[in-house]
Amino acid sequence: MFKFFARQPFWVHLITAVLLVFFMGFIFLQSLSWFTNHGAYLKVPVVKGKNVDAAVKLLESQGFEVVIQDSLYFDTIPKYTVIKQLPEPDATVKANRTVFITINRAVAPDIEMPKLEGLSLVYALDKLERTHLKLGDTIYKPDFMKGSILEQQYNSYRVAPGTKVPWGSRINLVIGAGLQQEQVLVPEVVGLTFAEAKSVLEAKGISLAAIVAMSTVKDTASAFVYKQNPEKFDSDKKPVFMQPGQTMDIWLSPVPLDTDSIKVKNEQAPLQ
Instruction: Name residue 175's amino acid.
Output: I
Which tens digit of pLDDT belongs to each residue from 45-80?
A: 999 999 999 999 998 888 888 998 878 888 888 989
Higher per-residue pLDDT: 156 or 15: 156
Instruction: Name residue 207's amino acid.
Output: S
pLDDT at residue 218 tops 50: yes
Q: Is 94:150 a contact under the CB 8 Å cutoff?
A: no
Q: Is 167:73 a contact under the CB 8 Å cutoff?
A: yes
**Confidence band of 16 (pLDDT split at 50, 70, 90):** low
DSSP class of residue 212? Answer: E
Question: Which residues lie closer than 8 Å to 144 by C-beta, 6 or more apart?
Answer: 176, 178, 179, 245, 246
Average pLDDT, the chain: 83
- Give residue 266's pLDDT: 47
* Cis peptide leading into residue 239 (ω within 30°): no
- Give residue 18's pLDDT: 67
- Give residue 268's pLDDT: 42
pLDDT at residue 117 tops 90: yes
- Give residue 264's pLDDT: 44
Which tens digit of pLDDT belongs to each residue from 183-202?
A: 888 999 999 999 999 999 98
- Give residue 270's pLDDT: 41
pLDDT at residue 11 tops 70: no
Which tens digit of pLDDT belongs to each residue from 126-170?
A: 999 999 999 999 988 878 788 899 999 999 899 999 999 998 899
How many alpha carbons fall within 13 Å on the CB side of residue 193? 7
- Give residue 10's pLDDT: 60
Which tens digit of pLDDT belongs to each residue from 17-37?
A: 667 766 676 665 555 445 444
**Among the listed residues 262, 263, 272, the one whose alpha carbon sits nearest the alpha carbon of residue 237:** 263
Task: Please provide the DSSP assignment of 158-172 as one string.
Answer: E--TT-EEETT-EEE
Q: Is 45:62 a contact under the CB 8 Å cutoff?
A: yes
- Give residue 262's pLDDT: 52
CA distance 97 to 93: 7
- Give residue 265's pLDDT: 45
Which tens digit of pLDDT belongs to each residue from 230-256?
A: 999 988 888 899 888 888 999 999 999
Q: Is 23:31 a contact under the CB 8 Å cutoff?
A: no
Which tens digit of pLDDT belongs to each residue from 89-99?
A: 888 877 678 89
- Give residue 263's pLDDT: 53
Find the mean pLDDT for residues 6-19.
63
CA 144 to chain centre: 31
Q: In degrees rounded to 5, what are phi and psi of residue 95?
A: -65, 155
